[in-house]
Amino acid sequence: MIIRKKEHWFKMLFVWHGSVLPGLLPRLFILFILSLVVVYFHGIIFSFKIPLNPAPLTLFGFVLALFLGFRNNASYERFWEGRKLWGALLNTARSLTRQALTLKKQNENNLAVHDFVELLSAFIFALKHQLRGTDPYDDLQHNLKEDQLAIVMESKYKPAVIMRLMAEWVQKRKDEGIIDSIQQARLDENFDKLSDIVGGCERIVSTPIPYSYRVLLHRTVYIYCFLLPFGLVDSLAWFTPLIVVFVAYTFVAFEAIADEIEEPFGTEANDLALNSMCIMIDETIREIAGEHIAVSQKVNQNIID
């Protein structure tokens, strides 16, 4: 995801990176050439004049804009739900770290808490990779012990397995008498929240917008754009190509943006910045645990590279 500071309105006109325009240029060029051909032949194809005028196209364009608005709202709702889930993950991770630190006996070695923080960090990175369908090995090997890494890498749903390992850590502290049943229950509540977050993210990934709806809107947008030159040629003449490209850019760009943010956990320019969020969550739980942030940054920098 691209995060920029607010720029001057004039500079915004020429922003290239992060815009959908680069991917649209071939399609817009085809429409521009088509418009030139239509103007050159005055809207006549095989001696037949296409009987179109701006009035029906204006009405149809208004209806199409409404459908595109609904489509973008549905996509942005998925994007925003994904962002809220990862915000909840940050809060829950902080709560679990705080509980692991404050529910221990004063004379207990901090090594056990460090192991829990490592598991929690591994859970965060494992969730990112599961949502993106990428290999988590490079990230997980920094956080998990060899036996834990072997167990997790053999599993299909890695975040769920890491949650089990965290629950086993809590049960071990309970067996050792470090925490009581009430404290264990409080930790389990946050584990339930983690499970809800994973389920919510999986729901977004596994339930796309209905394909037939996407196909219908996609076809309608391009049919409208290809008919537009025939409706404008008599009134705009050689200005037709410019107007057609501008209108087409608006409609096609809206559809492209909706397609991009529909899957918020991907790696496209406008998807959620999961890499940055994983690093931020990892740093905050390590800082709560008393680790020096510079150490965490060094590890995370290696992961990014």
Task: Tell me which of 294 and 289 has the higher pLDDT.
Answer: 289
Q: What angle do CA 28, 32, 36 make, to 5 degrees?
A: 170
Dump pLDDT digits (tens) for 234-285: 888 899 999 999 999 999 999 898 888 899 999 888 889 999 999 999 999 9
Q: Are 159 and 123 within 8 A, CB to CB?
A: yes
**Mean pLDDT score of the chain, rounded to an integer?**
86
pLDDT at 291: 80
Dump pLDDT digits (tens) for 38-75: 998 887 877 777 777 888 888 888 889 888 988 899 99
Question: Is residue 86 over pLDDT 60?
Answer: yes
Angle, nearest 10°, between helix axes 111-132 and 158-175? 160
pLDDT at 111: 59
pLDDT at 1: 58
Largest Cα–Cα separation, the chain: 94
Dump pLDDT digits (tens) for 107-130: 455 657 889 999 999 999 999 999
Question: Is residue 303 over pLDDT 80?
Answer: no
Rounded to whole angstroms, the Cα distance separating 282 from 10 reads 38
pLDDT at 3: 59
Question: Is residue 132 over pLDDT 80?
Answer: yes
CA-based nearest residue to 296, from 285, 100, 96, 109: 285
Question: Is residue 200 over pLDDT 50?
Answer: yes
Rounded to whole angstroms, the Cα distance separating 144 from 140 reads 6
Question: Is residue 296 over pLDDT 70?
Answer: no
